[in-house]
Amino acid sequence: MTTIIPERRPEWLRVRAPKGENYQELKQLMRGQSLHTVCEEARCPNIGECWGHKTATFMILGRVCTRSCGFCAVETGRPLGLDWEEPKRVAEAVQQMGLRHAVVTSVNRDELKDGGAAVFASTIRWIRRLNPECKVEVLTPDFKGSADALRVVMDAKPDIFNHNVETIPRLYKRVRPQAVYLRSLQVLKMAKEMYPGTRTKSGFMLGLGETWDEILEVMRDMREYDIDILTIGQYLRPSFQHLPFSAMCLWKSSQL
């Protein structure tokens, strides 16, 4: 019999258990509207802090993803049918929270012809209808590179179009087996070409074994593809079923 010893996290990574009036209020709101957030589904450790400040990222198109990325805690499987009332409920939640900047993401829905693009567009329009002053940021899947699906989202005119590359090209087969690095870059490029005034955004994680040179390569790609905003986050292993943390291999870098 093998005994599994939990990985000990450093003190600076530990957070308090979520609690507080704002946290409970937001939790009740999400349950009451039958909505999902990536904060919960991806087991984000910052949920207490974000919900405590009444900020959350809405996750539409259900809670089951058709892909199986090695870093992600969102459930993988066969999703249920679409809920066309969901966009309105998201907009109502944004209104109740009094948000000035709403962020909407989703699971992958590769079984759908448009990858769920129509639901994204409907959500953007409903938020605008009920919250005219609110900025809308969408964090979308790659829609398998479909320009038609992307056009549906972009025609709804989000303020920020976000699609994360997540990691360096070398690690894609292990980290994002159903995705393609260049395809993700092309989606971001197409979004900018369709609506040049829309700000594009992408991000990736550190902690999966990347080198400094590889990090710089991704950053150069972001610039080459005219991406306006880049975010870099720390990978935290959601469970023992997910990819282990691996320190950045600085010693391989020709820069050092």
Which residue numbers belong to the known binding site for [4Fe-4S] cluster?
39, 44, 50, 65, 69, 72
- Binding positions are 39, 44, 50, 65, 69, 72
Task: Determine the Cα–Cα distance for residues 178 and 154; give it in Å rounded to an integer.
Answer: 23
Amino acid at 98: G
Q: Which two tokens stand for residue 162?
A: 């976000």
Amino acid at 101: H
Q: How many CB atoms lie within 10 A of CB 70?
A: 17
Amino acid at 148: D
Residue position matching structure tokens 């990819």: 243
Strand partners, 105: 59, 139
CA–CA gap between residue 157 and residue 209 (Å, rounded): 37
> What is the rounded CA–CA span in Å between residue 117 and residue 9?
39
Q: Which residues pair with 160 in a beta bridge?
A: 137, 199
Cα distance from N-terminal residue to C-terminal residue, the chain: 44
